[in-house]
A and B are shown apart, each in its own frame.
Chain A
Amino acid sequence: MSVATLFTTSFRPEMAGLVLTVNGETRSIDAAPGAVLLDILRDDLELTGAKEACGRGECGACTVLVGGRSVLSCVTLAAVVNEPVETVEGLVSESLPLREAMADLGGFQCGYCTAGMVVRATELLRAGLPKDDDALAHAMAGNLCRCTGYRAILAAVRRVGQP
């Protein structure tokens, strides 16, 4: 059953079947209609790479790609997701150059924001980075980091995104 068919009945029992494509795999989950994507990923699918650091769309730690776009999984209802989901776990090889650059330049410290940073940067790298450094910083401004002061993260993204 696809998520799109969920709306055909007007009343729903407590738990509903939910089908998500996550990191290339199709997964069926029993979930409450109001279940939030982040909780599904972390609790049901045991993908704990995406973190909850605010739970209200303000920090970017829970960033995942839905249909290739970075979204905040803490304020995304799983029931409305009808495109493939990619989490940091699914991007491990694609992000290797970026992650190496982060390790070499100091692009992470405690690591709590890092998954969100990697996912957001992946979206930007796929599209081609903005040329201007200020624009790159602005494009990464949805992800809070308390440790690094960002400069090394931006440098790492720039290093791998340089043609």
Chain B
Amino acid sequence: MTFARIRHPEWEARTTGQMDYARDIKLKDLLVGKVLRCPYPAARIVQLDVEAARGAPGVVAVLVGTDLPDRNYLDYGQADRPSMARERVVWAGQEVAVLAAETEEQALAALALIRVTWERMPHVTSVAQALAVGAPAVHPDRAVDNVATQASRSFGDPASRGAATRQIGAAYGCGPQHHACMEPHSALAQWDAANGTLNLWTPTQSPRNIAAEIAQMLGLAPAQVRLRRSGVGGDFGSRVKAGDIEVLAAHLSMKTDRPVSIRLSRAEDFAYAKRQHETWVDVTSHYTDEGRILFREGRVTVDNGAFIQGGSNQMNYCSILLGSHYRLAGAQIEGRSVYTNLRPGGAFRGAGGPQAIFAIESQMDEIAAQLGVDPIVLRKRNLLPSGSETITGWKIATTAAAECLDEVGRRLDWDSARATGANPDVVRGVGVALAMHVSGAIVTPATGKAGAVIEIGQNGGVILASGCADPGTGEYAVIVQLCAKELGINPGDIELRAMDTATTPFDPGAGSSRGTMVTGGAILAASREIAEELRRQAAEMAGCAAQDVVLSGGSARAGAKEFTLGEVAAAHPFASGGTLRIERETAVSIPPVPMTHTDSGHGHLSPAYAFAAHGVEVEVDRATGAVRVLRVVAVHDAGTVINPVGAEGQVVGGVAMGLGMALGEQLLWQDGRPHVTGFADYAMPRADGVPPVEVVFVGAADPAGPMGAKSISEVALMPVAAAVANAVANATGVRLRDLPMTPDKVLAGLADRPRTHPAPIWRRPEHWWSAAVRQAYPSGLFAALDRYGPSRSTSKVPSIASVERPEQTETALALLARPGAAPLGGGTDLLPARSQGLAAPEHLVQLAGCNDLRGIEDHDGVLTFGAAVTLADAQAYLSRATLPGDRALAATLDAIATPQIRNMATLAGNLCQQNRCWFLRSGMNCFKRGGVGRPCYAVTGDHRYFHSVVDAGRCQSVTPSDLATMLTALDAEFVIRGPKGQHVLSAAAFHTGPGENALRPGEIVTALRIPAAARSDHAAFGKLSLSSDGFAIVSAAVRLRLDADGQVQTARIVLGGVAPTPWRAASSEERLLARVPLETDIAAAADAWTTRAHPLRDNEWKLAAGAGLLKRVLSQALDNSRTVNAAET
């Protein structure tokens, strides 16, 4: 059963930009709040001096930890988190001081005046370190062994393991994902001294949780904090409990008596807002020869970060779900949540469920493989039937798990799809995974109840008030639809009051998929009650029985008589002032299971349980390790679907987030310091990274849910990663158990993976020096440079004093001769680089206005682009190109960044962009930023994707420009003008180091020329990246000239992403010269360059991937030529 499709009640506001989110709200006298955070994972504050900041211009208040009441956040009950550090600091990012100033610039300037003397302390930045013998304790007073919480749960019959004949065990890891809500976290607080209330605007799906927590932290009564309605730009669990800035904004507002807003930037949101808890699940299944899983052993290890927040919940739900999924006879599950000196986590969509399902469902396929049974068949042998109870005490009233699996099988054409895989290089496979999930975990009495108020005025207007919030879950549409159906009116005729804690009834907020179940239940009960009252009253007015009254179309009909709802409401004896009002609080009918506080974890946790089977088809590139998902079939048993638009959206959104979890998203730290600080570093799916998703709903109404509905949003994320992993295994035989499945892991898993052989270092004296430095890094050099190395970088970036827009290159050159002047292309790199402290020009000279820099000319076969031509214009010009060189250039442009960037960025700007190293860009004071006294963080940090494998010196980063790589292969020339006149430089000579070029002060590139001969050579470009807009892990640009006999006369093979500059693979070129290239020559050439390599600890895989990619690009260049030639003849 499904309801009609309706438009979301806020659709107009949400699509026109009229919806006000917290950071859109402007209050009079608003102050800007900024937070000073600790840069070290563990330290003691020896001295904290804020006097200079207090006296700085525009500063109104400065607060430090000891200024605030000594209270901890309750969070989920563990109360281990203070509002600011007092003496000990336990993660790199913990709040140390906060201030409010008139403007953002003043606030930032004042922040820089705060002086802190730190004593750095030993720290642990992974669970393994935290659990090692003798590890330093994050909180010596709470957990000397760093184990914050633990559980040992025994379910069912412990002896049942004995009946099993086989067992299989493995560990499955889910890396820390980030919620990455598109609205970065922010808080706007306004203390209303006259009324003694605090108004708070902050995005959340749980308004009352936040209001209650803030009140508690401030020492106010709950009613004194009013959380106001606003748009909520995503939640996914990150904002169900208070973050760290709400309380700080509130304190500042109370202190200054003015409104204060603290808005995290995206970089801060990535680095300091909540995150998913990294979770490891060890599972051993004990099963029979017939494929019945009898007993499951498990051990769940959760990285809390420095405070527990949702970590214990994650561990608890994960461990209980491990005992619940499938029809087990017994289970023994241990769980730990562990303190580390990392940024604390928070609830994340599914709260441990996705991690349990990833482990179980991966292992189900491993069992199926061992037994030689089809994975769907194996799952169906172990399903929980409707009406059964799990060994964990969950009463499964309804389940359509079998139909979910069958439907996936049917739609994916399972049997034949699993058999495919003829192409040895790019293989396809399919995989399935089944998830189950609560529909609202009832863990405390408050989580099971919600209120609703409905008012009908005498003019017939209906007001519905609910304390819920809608961060995109479609909750508002669901409740309006439930109410409208009972009252027989249009959903659009209901005025919705929501979220505001002062004007709406109690609601527990969304979380553990309880929105529809609990809130929806309350709305339904109140709607039914008021409908009943209306019918009773109408019956009295019509002189008939209540059951003969029908509510529809905004009126009550009784036989021939008809009254408007307003008339009936006004006549009702309970009506006051013509308005009939019903307020109801309802509770779900099951007792709470306090899973976080009992060891057993046994009990009926939720009114109903949802199921979903997802099937995916993937394509795995065995040459590069890249995984592409081609299609997804998502079949859900969600009971009744109340709002199909919202329900489908939740599923597809969950699938996309699951694909991110499976394939690319991961937060990373370098010794406790975050260095993923932007979307460029975080491979979140884009529009071209999510394949078509078929969403299917099956199953019957569940007796417990409102109208029979069960949950959707979280369960939609849960099966995705395992389905992808199973499909990858089906395609390649590689079983990946550690998310995300980035290409390095795929390649490493291939049994017949390409081997690469860098020549031994003793044969290559040119690398001795860098090899020696690298060797010395782990043994003290890195630590010494990191701690004591002098730096020449200053954090000061002067503000822009002028922006010129000359119309002639002559004028531009004159303006650029001034000190502090720099050319401005599209600005897409320069402006971010300024804010990252990597560029500090005061005078910008925009070149786009110079008409002589914007032309494109094809003259005598030479193709000349003005330097200020945008990538999009160049692309458009080349869109109908026929010459292979031109087409390869067009393909290169299409692979760069995003359409908007291509609309803005200029060709020369792309060439001159700085390197994209995530250590540099996240603000670390590295060799590149701070000079020779500083270390390169990539040597010891995460360098798997974006660092050099060839020829790097002290800095391991690479030149990011794909365009430069292609232009080098095309033997392009750059015309350069400067104070000393004009000269021409070959593309190959342009780059001199990572993001460094040969331009001298005052010089600019004015044109790019591609020689005639190169344009008609065979050419191609290819790139491996983590997302469609991503920078190259490795790219390959190739140009070959064949003579009449098909022999290679000229070869240019240039690789990007492997060396400090676009790197010509001369040894590969030599393998092709003077030969008619056969398959074997191409393969040999693709490999040849790798012997020159000098990879870092973890990036040798780039050699194999680069060789694989190069082989493909070489063949493509030759093939293209054949097709073009064929077309010509």
Contact = CB atoms under 8 A, between A and B. Distances in A.
29 contacts: A32-B799, A34-B799, A48-B17, A51-B183, A53-B266, A55-B832, A56-B678, A58-B266, A58-B680, A70-B899, A71-B903, A72-B901, A75-B826, A77-B803, A80-B849, A99-B12, A103-B8, A104-B7, A110-B234, A111-B14, A138-B687, A138-B894, A141-B686, A141-B1029, A144-B182, A145-B182, A146-B180, A146-B684, A147-B472
Interface string A111-138: 1111100101000000000000010011
Interface stretch (B248-256, B513-521, B688-696, B763-771): B688-696
Interface stretch (B61-69, B541-549, B653-661, B740-748): B653-661
Interface of A: 3-4, 6-7, 10-12, 32-34, 36, 42, 46-61, 63, 69-72, 74-77, 79-80, 82, 87-89, 92, 95, 99-100, 102-106, 108-115, 118, 120, 134, 137-154
A48 B827 contact: no
B649 A147 contact: yes
B15 A149 contact: no
Interface centre among A33, A111, A141 (most CB of B within 10 A): A111
A69 B182 contact: no
Given A89-B16, A99-B16, A4 B653 contact: no
B824 A111 contact: no
A154 B835 CA distance: 33
B648 A152 contact: yes
B99 interface: no
Interface string B878-917: 0000000000000000100111110110000000000000
Interface in B1-44: 5, 7-8, 10-21, 23-24, 26
Given A57-B901, A108-B14, A146-B684, A10 B690 contact: no
Given A6-B803, A70-B903, A88 B692 contact: no
Given A70-B903, A115-B16, 18 more contacts: A34-B803, A47-B17, A51-B183, A55-B265, A57-B828, A57-B831, A77-B800, A79-B805, A82-B849, A100-B7, A110-B182, A118-B15, A138-B687, A142-B897, A144-B684, A146-B179, A146-B182, A150-B686
B1029 A54 contact: no
A144 B686 contact: yes
B803 A79 contact: yes
B877 interface: no
B898 A142 contact: yes
A54 B1098 CA distance: 30
Contact of A48 (B11, B24, B657, B689): B24
Nearest to B901: A57
A61 B184 CA distance: 12
Given A70-B903, A120-B900, A150 B15 contact: no
Given A54-B678, A75-B831, A151-B652, A110 B472 contact: yes
A149 B800 contact: no
Contact of B17 (A72, A80, A88): A88
A4 B850 CA distance: 12
B17 A87 contact: yes
Contact of A149 (B20, B179, B236, B656): B656
Contact of A138 (B184, B473, B1028): B1028
B350 to A, nearest CB: 15
B838 to A, nearest CB: 12
A138 B687 CA distance: 7
Contacts of A100: 7
B846 A141 contact: no
B12 to A, nearest CB: 8
B646 interface: yes
Nearest to B180: A146
Nearest to B806: A7
Contact of B899 (A4, A59, A106, A120): A120
Interface in B656-688: 656-657, 678-680, 684-688
B899 A141 contact: yes
Contact of A111 (B19, B680, B805, B904): B19
Contacts of B800: 32-34, 77
B815 A112 contact: no
Top-3 shortest CB links A-B: A49-B17, A34-B800, A142-B898
A142 B690 contact: no
Nearest to A75: B831
Contacts of B182: 51, 53, 59, 61, 110, 112-113, 144-147
Contacts of A151: 652, 690, 692-693
Contacts of A148: 649, 652-653, 656
B804 interface: yes
A82 B844 CA distance: 16
A141 to B, nearest CB: 4
A139 B266 CA distance: 24
A46 B898 CA distance: 27
Contacts of B265: 55
B231 interface: yes
Contact of A7 (B15, B472, B815, B832): B815
B20 A75 contact: no
Interface in B783-835: 799-807, 811, 815, 818, 824, 826-828, 831-832, 835
Contacts of B183: 51, 53, 110, 112
A112 B679 contact: no
A134 B289 CA distance: 46
Contacts of A152: 648-649, 652
B45 interface: no
Contacts of B831: 36, 56-57, 74-75, 77
A106 B656 CA distance: 15
Nearest to A63: B900
B679 A144 contact: yes
A49 B803 contact: no
Contacts of A88: 16-17
A7 B17 CA distance: 34
B181 A105 contact: no
Interface string B826-859: 1110011001000000001010110000000000
B233 interface: yes
Q: Which of A51, A102, A145, A149 has the most chain B CB atoms closer than 10 A to its own CB?
A: A149
B511 interface: no
B652 A80 contact: no
A146 B234 CA distance: 8
Given A55-B265, A59-B182, A152-B652, A80 B846 contact: yes
A109 B898 contact: no
A116 to B, nearest CB: 9
A87 to B, nearest CB: 7
B300 to A, nearest CB: 27
Contact of A114 (B15, B652, B657): B15
B904 A75 contact: yes
B1012 interface: no
Nearest to B232: A110
B474 interface: yes
Nearest to A53: B182
B645 interface: yes
Contacts of A71: 900, 903-904
B900 A137 contact: no
B471 interface: yes
A134 B688 contact: yes
Contact of B898 (A79, A102, A141): A141
A56 B1029 contact: no
Contact of A12 (B17, B801, B806, B897): B801
A58 B903 contact: no
A102 B685 CA distance: 20
B854 to A, nearest CB: 13
Contacts of B835: 55-56
Contact of A11 (B649, B655, B802): B802
A134 B231 CA distance: 32
Given A6-B805, A89-B16, A141-B899, A103 B690 contact: no
Contact of B803 (A33, A113, A150, A153): A33
Contacts of B806: 7
